[in-house]
């Protein structure tokens, strides 16, 4: 399968500062790709070059086979872009706002009414279609923004910090919405500081630091690369000391720590092995009669990968 | 690399009128302007201002000349004075309102962080600038045409010909376009609307000061130079062109030529020197120069909107 986005030797300087330094990566069709990195790492600059708002000093990006340098309009047709802090026209109704952007994408007036209706249903804003945009909450404006990027039915969505500034509920709703959009077959490239969102949504992650791609791959690949141990969290009803001793004697277990601030008897295990080995570890614990009530691989993996990568451990 | 077909359908063809009425920027701007109170306040203030001055002039003239009130030639003179006053007031108002309508056209999109959304759509910079300018000019046209009933008092009294009407309307339209373009240009180069507004009005003020200064220089050169025919012709032509660039002088001198010489296009008068040679009527120079300058400013504005590294 050919990649839908190809980024080749991309470099961008702002005066003497190199914002993006020779970045290369591809994104496959239908993928949800997360771009993470500290502030000023070059995520937004990369995205702005991708959506034709900035010209690279060196390198090239192909979107669906079209060059951002030579075929900018063809690229724009394929991309829906939501910047990190985008404004809305407060003096328009929700319906007028989408109609305005529909006209900007040269969608025929006869098609727009039905299209807007469908989009408002998708983002669950149908009941607010005649309200002024200014009266919407931040979360609803973000949903409206998502409807806007879909107005011309692009194959690719480029979303810069889509969950920034949202309350927890709105954040979850946006995440659900992104998953729904991904199910429609869209390719999504998004950046976020909320690593839990990236970890849950993305099929692949790129970590950018100081303008360079510090790490790239699936979460599992990155974890294995920067952390030799997988972290497993186990909770038991009782017998935590016995379980500790038993775990230490099992193959693949590097270290066992007691988690002090938990209501239950909790253990963190550093484990070396694949999914099959983890399954065997759990099976042995149960076979030996330990009352296991919780067994999971630590979901904070991306956070750990991010911290270790951006400290320069990998690069 | 082969470029695949875009999944987007090509838009169905629309005729020119439909494209104008469906132009997103024109529709949005006009709707926004007329939705709030601002549009009606400007329109009301504009008409009140003109009506007040017309009434004042009419009352003054009539009260000063009560013995000749029935004389048709006197009424025609009153008609001409009223018409000229309306045109000059309209020119003054357009110079004030024009830049105010467009000084925030692009810069406010930057301030509200909506310019990126437009630039990543299929709306071209040319179309964006055209839409912003058209909607502002359309509003000024509304002002010009709503002023027509006030001007009709002059037609009722007589003395105003079709040529005066056409030329004055043309000058008003060109003035509206130019002042809107000026505001639009500064808006395209500024990050902030306040800055763009200050630049626009400062340019108008500075160009007026420059106009007075140049007139003074030419006047001084005329007095210190020996009476040389070539120098005199050059100074006469320079003065003529300079006066023609000012809308008020251009309008007044064009009217004087029309009344005195019955000529709409050329004058052969030696108004500023002893020699006599044909010169175009000031309104022609004014319209040509302003259209040229507007075109240049529009091209520059498009270029600044198009720039990616901002």
Q: Is the pLDDT of residue A238 over 90?
A: no
Q: Is the pLDDT of residue A304 over 90?
A: no
Predicted confidence (pLDDT) per residue in B72-91, tens digit: 777 788 888 888 888 889 99
Which of B22, B112, B121 lies closest to A109 in CB terms? B22
Residues 6+ apart with CB under 8 A from A157: A79, A80, A81, A82, A149, A150, A181, A186, A187, A188, A189, A190
Match 């007691």 to its residue by tokens: A258
Q: Is the pLDDT of residue B2 over 60?
A: no
Q: How far apart are CA A119 and CA A148, in angstroms?
A: 8
Q: Is the pLDDT of residue B67 over 70?
A: no
Q: Is the pLDDT of residue B129 over 50?
A: yes
Q: How far apart are CA A230 and CA A232, in angstroms?
A: 6
To the nearest whole percent, how much of chain B has pLDDT over 70? 89
Residue B133 confidence class, pLDDT cut points 50, 70, 90: very high
> If phi over 0 gives left and psi between -120 and 50 gives alpha, with beta otherwise, what is residue A30?
left
**Which region among B128-132, B149-153, B176-180 has the lowest average model confidence (pLDDT)?**
B149-153
Which of A86, A105, A109 lies closest to B121 in CB terms? A105
Residue B5 confidence class, pLDDT cut points 50, 70, 90: very low
Say whether residue A69 is in contact with chain B using an 8 A CB cutoff: no
DSSP E strands, A172-248 = 187-191, 204-209, 212-217, 230-236
**Which region among A64-68, B38-42, B258-262, B303-307 has the lowest average model confidence (pLDDT)?**
B258-262
Match 């470029």 to its residue by tokens: B3
pLDDT value at residue B68: 60
Q: How far apart are CA A50 and CA B17, in angstroms?
A: 35
Quick one: average pLDDT of A202-231? 84
| Residue contacts between A and B (CB atoms, under 8 Å) | 97
Predicted confidence (pLDDT) per residue in A142-151, tens digit: 999 999 999 9
To the nearest whole percent, how much of chain A has pLDDT over 70? 97
Say whether residue A155 is in contact with chain B using an 8 A CB cutoff: yes
Would strands A187-191 and A156-160 be described as parallel, antiparallel, or unpaired?
A: parallel
pLDDT averaged over every residue in chain A: 88
Q: How far apart are CA A47 and CA A206, in angstroms?
A: 13
List Cα–Cα distances, B291 to A54, A214, A255, B95, B288, in angstroms. 33, 55, 81, 15, 5
Residues 6+ apart with CB under 8 A from A220: none
Q: Is the pLDDT of residue B225 over 80?
A: no
pLDDT value at residue B308: 66
Quick one: average pLDDT of A209-218? 89
- A272 three-state secondary structure: coil
Quick one: average pLDDT of B94-118? 93
Say whether residue A54 is in contact with chain B using an 8 A CB cutoff: yes
pLDDT value at residue B307: 84
Residue B97 confidence class, pLDDT cut points 50, 70, 90: very high
Residues 6+ apart with CB under 8 A from A144: A88, A94, A97, A98, A123, A125, A133, A136
Predicted confidence (pLDDT) per residue in A89-135, tens digit: 888 999 999 999 999 999 998 999 999 999 999 999 999 999 999 99
Residue A313 confidence class, pLDDT cut points 50, 70, 90: very low
Q: ipTM for the complex?
A: 0.83
Predicted confidence (pLDDT) per residue in B34-66, tens digit: 887 888 898 999 899 888 988 888 888 877 766
Quick one: average pLDDT of A251-276? 84
pLDDT value at residue B153: 77
Q: How far apart are CA A146 and CA A123, in angstroms?
A: 8
Residue B70 confidence class, pLDDT cut points 50, 70, 90: low
Contact state of A53 with B4 under an 8 Å Cβ cutoff? no
Which of A67, A85, A155 lies closest to B113 in CB terms? A85
Q: Which residues of B touch A52 (CB under 8 A)?
A: 119-120, 308
Contact state of A62 with B32 under an 8 Å Cβ cutoff? no
Which of B31, B120, B308 lies closest to A81 in CB terms? B120
* Shortest alpha-carbon distance between residue A16 and chain B (Å): 15
Determine phi and psi for A176, rounding to 5 degrees.
Answer: -60, -40
pLDDT value at residue B13: 60
pTM: 0.84
pLDDT value at residue A66: 96
**Which region among A13-17, A310-314, B234-238 has the lowest average model confidence (pLDDT)?**
A310-314
Give which of B2, B5, B6, B23 to mutate to test A binding, by max A Cβ within 10 Å: B6
- A305 three-state secondary structure: helix
To the nearest whole percent, how much of chain A has pLDDT over 90? 56
Which residue of B lies nearest to A82 if distances are taken between CA atoms?
A: B117
* Shortest alpha-carbon distance between residue B106 and chain A (Å): 14
pLDDT value at residue B8: 44
pLDDT averaged over every residue in chain B: 85
Quick one: average pLDDT of B162-180? 92
If you average pLDDT over each of A47-51, A229-233, B222-226, which comes out highest?
A: A47-51
Which residue of B lies nearest to A49 if distances are taken between CA atoms?
A: B308
Q: Is the pLDDT of residue B271 over 80?
A: no
Would strands A17-27 and A5-14 be described as parallel, antiparallel, or unpaired?
A: antiparallel
Say whether residue A73 is in contact with chain B using an 8 A CB cutoff: yes
B125-146 and B282-306 helices cross at what angle (nearest 10)? 140
* Shortest alpha-carbon distance between residue A108 and chain B (Å): 6
Q: How far apart are CA B181 and CA B200, in angstroms?
A: 10
Higher local confidence (pLDDT), B10 or B117: B117
pLDDT value at residue B6: 41
pLDDT value at residue B1: 38
H or E element, residue B267: strand B266-267
Q: Is the pLDDT of residue A178 over 70?
A: yes
Q: Is the pLDDT of residue B101 over 90?
A: yes
List Cα–Cα distances, A53 to B44, B120, B125, in angstroms. 42, 7, 12
pLDDT value at residue A145: 93
Q: How far apart are CA A127 and CA A130, in angstroms?
A: 8
Q: How far apart are CA B174 and CA B289, in angstroms?
A: 10
């Amino acid at each position: 399968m050919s990649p839908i986005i190809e980024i080749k030797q991309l470099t961008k300087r702002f005066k003497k500062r190199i914002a993006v330094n020779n970045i290369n990566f591809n994104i496959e069709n239908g993928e949800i790709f997360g771009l993470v990195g500290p502030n000023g790492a070059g995520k937004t600059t990369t995205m702005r070059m991708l959506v034709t708002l900035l010209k690279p000093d060196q390198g090239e990006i192909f979107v669906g086979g079209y060059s951002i340098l030579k075929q900018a309009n063809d690229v724009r047709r394929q991309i829906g872009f939501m910047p990190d802090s985008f404004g809305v026209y407060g003096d328009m109704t929700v319906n007028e706002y989408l109609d305005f952007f529909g006209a900007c994408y040269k969608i025929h007036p006869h098609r727009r009414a039905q299209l807007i209706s469908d989009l408002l249903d998708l983002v669950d804003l149908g009941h607010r279609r005649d309200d002024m945009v200014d009266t919407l909450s931040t979360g609803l404006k973000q949903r409206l923004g998502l409807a806007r990027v879909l107005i011309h039915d692009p194959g690719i969505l480029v979303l810069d910090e889509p969950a920034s500034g949202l309350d927890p509920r709105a954040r979850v709703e946006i995440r659900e919405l992104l998953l729904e959009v991904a199910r429609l077959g869209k390719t999504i490239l998004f950046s976020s500081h909320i690593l839990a969102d990236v970890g849950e949504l993305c099929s692949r992650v790129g970590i950018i630091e100081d303008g360079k791609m510090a790490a790239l791959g699936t979460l599992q690949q990155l974890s294995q690369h920067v952390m030799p141990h997988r972290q497993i969290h186990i909770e038991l009803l009782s017998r935590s000391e016995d379980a500790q001793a038993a775990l230490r004697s099992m193959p693949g277990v590097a270290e066992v720590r007691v988690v002090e601030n938990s209501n239950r008897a909790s253990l963190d295990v550093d484990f070396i092995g694949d999914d099959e080995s983890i399954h065997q570890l759990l099976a042995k614990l149960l076979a030996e009669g330990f009352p296991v009530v919780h067994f999971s691989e630590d979901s904070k993996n991306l956070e750990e990968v991010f911290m270790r990568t951006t400290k320069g451990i990998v690069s | 690399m082969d470029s695949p077909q875009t999944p987007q359908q090509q838009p169905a063809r629309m005729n020119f009128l439909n494209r104008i009425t469906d132009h997103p920027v024109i529709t949005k701007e006009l709707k926004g302007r007329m939705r709030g109170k601002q549009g009606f306040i400007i329109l009301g203030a504009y008409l009140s201002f003109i009506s007040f001055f017309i009434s004042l002039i009419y009352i003054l003239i009539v009260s000063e000349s009560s013995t000749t009130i029935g004389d048709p030639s006197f009424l025609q003179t009153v008609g001409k004075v009223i018409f000229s006053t309306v045109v000059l007031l309209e020119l003054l108002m357009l110079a004030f309102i024009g830049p105010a309508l467009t000084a925030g056209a692009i810069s406010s999109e930057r301030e509200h962080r909506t310019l990126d959304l437009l630039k990543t759509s299929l709306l071209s910079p040319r179309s964006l600038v055209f839409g912003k300018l058209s909607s502002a000019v359309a509003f000024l046209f509304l002002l010009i045409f709503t002023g027509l009933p006030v001007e009709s008092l002059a037609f009722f009294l007589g003395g105003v010909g079709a040529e005066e009407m056409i030329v004055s309307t043309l000058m008003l339209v060109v003035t509206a376009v130019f002042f809107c373009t000026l505001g639009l240009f500064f808006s395209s180069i500024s990050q902030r609307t306040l800055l763009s507004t200050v630049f626009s009005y400062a340019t108008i003020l500075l160009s007026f000061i420059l106009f007075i200064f140049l007139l003074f220089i030419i006047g001084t050169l005329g007095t210190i130079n020996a009476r040389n025919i070539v120098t005199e012709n050059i100074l006469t032509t320079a003065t003529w062109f300079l006066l023609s660039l000012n809308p008020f002088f251009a309008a007044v001198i064009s009217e004087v030529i029309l009344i005195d010489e019955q000529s709409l296009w050329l004058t052969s008068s030696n108004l500023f020197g002893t020699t006599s040679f044909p010169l175009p009527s000031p309104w022609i120079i004014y319209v040509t120069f302003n259209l040229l300058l507007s075109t240049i400013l529009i091209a520059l504005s498009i270029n600044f909107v198009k720039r990616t590294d901002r």
